[in-house]
């Protein structure tokens, strides 16, 4: 099993990994506990955390995930069908005693999971129009290739679309290939 986290704070991955290892490996429960800890220990009341936490079983392709007010994630099926993975809870630090739902999806060979910061969806073109989640969904339906090719194409399209990327931009692109997992285990 591999754990993928994407966050804006350097200490968060360490905290999340500790919570995942301590009891429940359920992403929603981990975010529930992390939210409580964050609210108790936040040094400022005007801070919050945006987070996507996914646990991928590399043998079966099962993904369990929870997200705290995160930009949507996307699942591109090999058939070019693109599913939007909406947030499963609010921003951490905004709503006391918030709860986070865990959702499960099944990856098939060739499927690609994409998670990004809002620098992608909030990017603006020359007419000041944001790309938004639907624009990214459209792009992903048109892009072919593996994880690196997908990430490279997104960045090229973004650079062509906007002259200046004004916000942070981080991408996580995972392509599920059970054959390479089986080959490396042998």
Q: What is d(CA 172, CA 12) in angstroms, rounded to the nearest whole number?
A: 17
pTM: 0.83
Q: What Cα–Cα distance (Å) separates residue 173 from each residue in 3, 17, 76?
A: 13, 20, 10
* DSSP symbol at 108: -
C-alpha 21: how far from its chain's center? 20
User: Is the predicted pLDDT of residue 148 greater than 80, yes or no?
Assistant: yes
Token pair of 172 as six digits: 């996580």
Token pair of 180 as six digits: 């390479």
Q: What is d(CA 85, CA 25) in angstroms, rounded to the nearest whole number?
A: 20
State pLDDT tens for residues 22-79: 656 899 999 998 888 888 777 777 778 888 999 899 999 999 999 998 788 999 998 7
State pLDDT tens for residues 167-186: 778 899 999 998 776 555 55
- Greatest Cα pair distance, the chain, in angstroms, is 53
């Amino acid at each position: 099993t591999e754990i993928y986290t994407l966050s804006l704070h350097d200490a968060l991955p360490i905290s999340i990994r500790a919570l995942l290892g301590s009891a429940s490996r359920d992403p929603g429960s981990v975010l529930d506990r992390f939210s409580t800890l964050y609210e108790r220990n936040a040094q400022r009341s005007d801070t919050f955390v945006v987070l996507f936490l996914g646990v991928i079983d590399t043998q079966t392709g099962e993904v369990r995930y929870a997200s705290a007010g995160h930009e949507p994630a996307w699942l591109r099926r090999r058939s070019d069908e693109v599913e939007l993975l909406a947030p499963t809870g609010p921003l951490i630090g905004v709503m006391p005693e918030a709860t986070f739902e865990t959702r499960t999806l099944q990856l098939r060979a060739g499927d690609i999971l994409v998670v990004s910061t809002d620098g992608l969806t909030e990017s603006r073109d020359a007419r000041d129009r944001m790309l938004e989640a639907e624009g990214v969904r459209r792009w992903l339906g048109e892009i072919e290739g593996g994880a690196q090719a997908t990430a490279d194409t997104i960045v090229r399209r973004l650079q062509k679309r906007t002259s200046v990327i004004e916000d942070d931009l981080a991408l996580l692109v995972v392509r599920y290939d059970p054959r390479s997992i089986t080959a490396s285990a042998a």
